[in-house]
Each structure stands twice: as C-alpha cells, then as structure tokens.
Structure 1
Amino acid sequence: MSETKRYFLELSYKGTPFHGWQIQKNAFTVQECLESALGTYFRRPIFVVGSGRTDTGVHAFMQVCHFDLEENMLPGENFLKAINSILPKEISIHSIRPVKQDAHARFSARKRAYVYRIIFRKNPFLNELAWHCFTNPDVEKMNEAAQALLRHEDFECFSKVHTDVKHFRCEIISAYWEQKDHQLLFHISANRFLRGMVRAIVGTLMEVGLGMRNVESMDELIRSRDRALAGKAAPAKGLFLSQIVYKEDIYLD
C-alpha cells in the first residue's frame, strides 16, 4: 500500500444555497460540493474532514479541512486556479498546505471564532448576510451579559437538543459586541462550540438588550442547562465562522 500525504485546505463560502457543511442525503452541502470538485481535479474520489460543521445558511470567512493523497499525486502549480474554476461562485479555496500525517482539521484546532452580524437599516448588499432588526438594543447591557459566558464551562442551555456529544463543556476565550455605524457585530471565540450554540447565545443576548430579560439572569440560565429557558436562535444568515487556529508546527512548509 502506497504512502499518503495529508493537506490542509483553507476556504471560505457563502452558506445561503447550502444545507450546511456536512454531507447528507438529498441535500446540497459544502462538503459534497468540495469533494466533487477535488475528485474532478485529481480524477479519483477525495474525502475531506472539516474543522467543524456549519448549519444550513451559515457562512464561513475561514473554514479548514484536510484530505489525503498518495505520494505520487501532488497538487499542480495551478491547483488553486483550477479548483476554483470548478467550484461554484459561493466557495473559494485560498490555500493548500502539506501537514504532518497526524494533523487533523478538527481535533488539532486550538481555537475557533465566530462573528454574528446584525443590521438596523435595510441594506440590499447584506440582505443574505445579516439579521435585520428594527429596534436598537442596549449594547452596554448585552456586553455585560456576555461576560457571564467567561465564568462558566457547561453550555448545554445553548446547545441543540438530541446532539451526539459526550459533554457540553467549552472554554470561552472572548465574547463581546462591537457597534459599527448601522451594524452590530458579536465576536466570540472558544476551544470548541456546540451545535447551534452561537445563534442561541445571540438570540438570548438580544433579549437582554431589548429588556426582555435582565443581565443577572444569564448566570442562572447557564447553570440551569435547560435549552427551553434560553432565547430563540438568531437567524443563520448573520453567522460567520471567522477563524480556526492551529499550532504552526503541524505545517510542513
């Protein structure tokens, strides 16, 4: 059996036309589209493993996946130009880098970050890329409430129910809101995220900002571990996977 080499791909995509990242029956997904394009380029089946799953309609400024190739099958000099010409306009590959054989797009990731965008006036250019809200929330209270996320580790209350995970612990590194003209951006980073977690957090913090729940209730909510007590999930179209961080020593170039 011939030796293989492992590669990391860095890509971005607009999630609007896709039913999320992960391949599933009778649905058009980013992973399926990417594997099809890679299979066309290399003329053999290619299977990719992503750093994590994004839900239907969620976007990615930065996503990372890995795949293996036999040693005699190297990407050509024009790989990026060729693969991007095969892929639809909603997906773009930015780089390909060889990595150590035990490097893993998901399990080797040290940090992940998301950005959620809210707009407060009609914008035809951001219609599919932001949550349009009609009432300005109290951003100061939302930032105060967001700090509760740094005091806890178990976030079952923000996870989709019936999720196949061994535990609900996450280490939140940062969480804050940033006002930019007519946009409000929520930045959050952690070692891992649960399914639906960021959208549930955004929806809950918006309830704080709109006076529907108080700042002090955040700690009690998180301790409850009850998804039914958290806010409604914010729309998928405003969410972007924005960063995946790895140790530099996994790369071979």
Structure 2
Amino acid sequence: MRYFIEVAYKGTQFGGFQIQDTAHTVQAEIDRAISLLMREKVETTGSSRTDAGVHALQNFLHFDIAQPLHPQFIYKVNAILSRDIVLKQVYAVSDEAHSRFDALNRAYKYTLYTQKDPFMQDRGYFYPYSLDFDLLQEAAGILKTYENFMTFSKRNTQVRTYNCNIMESAWTIEDGHIVYRVRANRFLRGMVRGMVGTMLRVGRGKLTIEGFRKAIEMRDCTYADFAVPPQGLFLMQVVYPSGLLDKAIF
C-alpha cells in the first residue's frame, strides 16, 4: 500500500531535507521515526528538496508498506519526531501516485524584515536597507516572461532541463515585512534565493532592469546573487491533481 504524508518543519537545525551521509536531515528523521514505529525499514520519497536552514509549512513524502498502519500513526510518529518536525496528515493513494512527479506546482515565500526583531532572526532576513519597491515588483514580473532559469541554478545540478513555468511572482508588504512570493511547476537548486538576491540588487539600484534581463539571458550563475540566507525561505504549498489526496485516513 502506498501512502502520502504531509509534514511541516522548521529547518534551522537540519542540513537540508533530503537524506545525506554527512548531515542530519528532515527526511532521515522522518524515515527513522516511521521505521521505529512500524518495526521495519521504511524509505520515503520527498516531493520538494529544501536546502539547509529552509523551512516548510507544507511538504509531502510517500512510502510503501504492506502492513496496516498503527491506529495512532500520526500521534505515535509525532512523539518520536523532534519538536522541529510535525506530521500533519496521512493519505492512502494509488500505487502509481508519486509525491514528486505528480505535483502540479509549488509555492515559496521569502521574508525580509527591516527592523531588528529577535523573534524573526530564524524566520527572515534582516535587511535594514532602502529598496525601490517599484523596481522590485518590475523585476518580479519580468521573471514570469522567461522559461530558462539556468542563471538561478547553482552549479553541479543534475537536471535534464532548466525550464520552469513561473505562474506567480510578486513582492508584497505583509505585517510590516517585505515578502516575495513565487509559484512554479518546478524549481531548480538554489533558484528562489538566487532570484531574491539578484532582485535585491535591482531594488538597491546596483543592477538595472536591463542588467537583470541580461543576467537571465546569459544563462550563467555567475550573473546571479545567491548571497541571501536560508532562514527567510519557506516552502508554503505543494499542489496535486484534484482527487489525489481525497482519502485522508486519520
């Protein structure tokens, strides 16, 4: 039987989402908790691979298991997981359903705060500099007119294509914070932070709109600025086809 699980996590203490040999990761802890409860080795597949220090309000994984799930599966798994991860829901799905490949789109947000705030230091990027909001918004809109985002992909990324369909891209003011929201069918490694860092250069007058377009068209990551910290980035939502998640079992 195949199951999808919905999780959320605070990424501060983790070396990323995906299992690694040399780092403590979100997926490794989830696999360990489920395996411990079910008393057999369980390996999950994740929908979206967030980097070290990046948070998620919603992410999904799937796994296969023959035996019935424990009747208190969510409660028991959450009791094993660290306080920085929560299992929110479990869905029974078809054996062909795939948490990564069946996702229609994903949404992220990146938060800047402009005044010192100890409660935001691990949930945003302290950025006490003047920004031209109109230029930020113009740059965000330009991103929707392109398909190839090789410029905003970190090196040594093994992908078949650098094409992404950006459906939403806009800066907003939310609760006094400057927030960038973006939605696309897929994202490249480091893509959101690369876009944010480069747009901030536009907003500060260090890069013109024409220069921003040129950076995208060069398809060279040396034209992007990835130097924004991970803690401002949240994976907000993963969207699946209608009906795929209809069967919540707990």
TM-score by length of 2: 0.96
Shift of 1:221: 1.4
Distance apart, 1:230 and its partner CA: 1.4
State whether structure 2 residue 212 is matched by structure 1 residue 218: yes
Q: How far, CA to CA, are the matches of 2:232 and 2:172 in structure 1? A: 14
Quote the residue 1:67 is aligned against.
63
Q: Which residue number corresponds to residue 173 of structure 1?
A: 167
- CA offset at residue 244 of structure 1? 0.3
Whether contact under 8 Å (1:202, 1:233) holds in the other structure is no
Q: Distance in 2 between matches of 1:149 and 1:48?
A: 33
Note the alpha carbon deviations across 1:111-145, whole angstroms, 9 max, x for none: 00101011011111111111001113111110111
Q: Which amino acid aligns with 1:106?
A: R
Displacement of 1:181? 4.0
Is the CA contact (8 Å cut-off) linking 1:121 and 1:182 kept in structure 2? no
Question: Could you tell me how far 1:76 is from its partner in structure 2?
Answer: 3.0
| Structure 1 equivalent of residue 25 of structure 2 | 29
Q: CA deviation at 1:250?
A: 2.4
Number of equivalent positions: 247
Q: RMSD of aligned C-alpha atoms?
A: 1.1
**One of 222, 227, 231 as aligned partner of 1:237:** 231
> Which of 74, 83, 95 in structure 2 is aligned with 1:89?
83
Q: Cα deviation per residue 1:177-225 (whole Å; 9 max; x = unaligned)?
A: 0112431111000000000000000000111111111123222211110
The question of whether the paired residues in 1 share the 8 Å contact of 2:166 and 2:184 is answered with yes
Which of 134, 142, 158 aligns to 1:164? It is 158
Q: Secondary structure at the match of 1:217?
A: helix
* Contact 1:100–1:252 (CA under 8 A) maintained in structure 2: no
Distance 1:43 1:174 in 2: 43
Deviations 1:23-42 (A, max 9, x none): 11121001110000001111
Question: 1:7 corresponds to which residue?
Answer: 3
Q: 2:98 pairs with 88, 91, 104, which one?
A: 104
Cα distance between partner residues in 1 of 2:177 and 2:55: 17
2:192 and 2:125 mapped to 1: Cα distance? Answer: 14
| Match of residue 131 from structure 1 | 125
How far apart, CA to CA, are the structure 2 residues paired with 1:171 and 1:232?
20
Q: Which residue of 2 is the match for residue 192 of structure 1?
A: 186
Contact 1:121 1:132 in 2 (8 A): yes
2:243 match: 249
Measure, in 2, the Cα distance between the counterparts of 1:190 and 1:42.
35
AA aligned to 2:3 is Y
Letter matched to residue 92 of structure 1: V
Distance 1:101 1:251 in 2: 13
| 2:18 and 2:26 in contact (8 A); partners too | yes
Q: Percent identity?
A: 38
Q: Which runs of 5+ in 1 are unaligned?
A: none
- Residue identity in the other structure for 2:182: I
Question: 1:17, 1:225 → 2: CA distance?
Answer: 33
**How far is the alpha carbon of 1:226 from its aligned partner?**
1.0
Contact 1:142 1:215 in 2 (8 A): no
- Aligned mates of 1:222, 1:209 — CA distance in 2: 16
Q: More displaced, 222-231 or 211-220? A: 211-220
**Higher mean C-alpha displacement, 211-220 vs 187-196:** 211-220
> Are the aligned partners of 2:166 and 2:182 in contact in 1 as well (CA < 8 Å)?
yes
Question: What stretches of structure 1 move > 6 A for 4+ residues in a row?
Answer: none
Instruction: Measure how far apart 1:252 and its partner are.
Output: 5.6
TM-score (norm 1): 0.95
Which residue of 2 is the match for residue 148 of structure 1?
A: 142
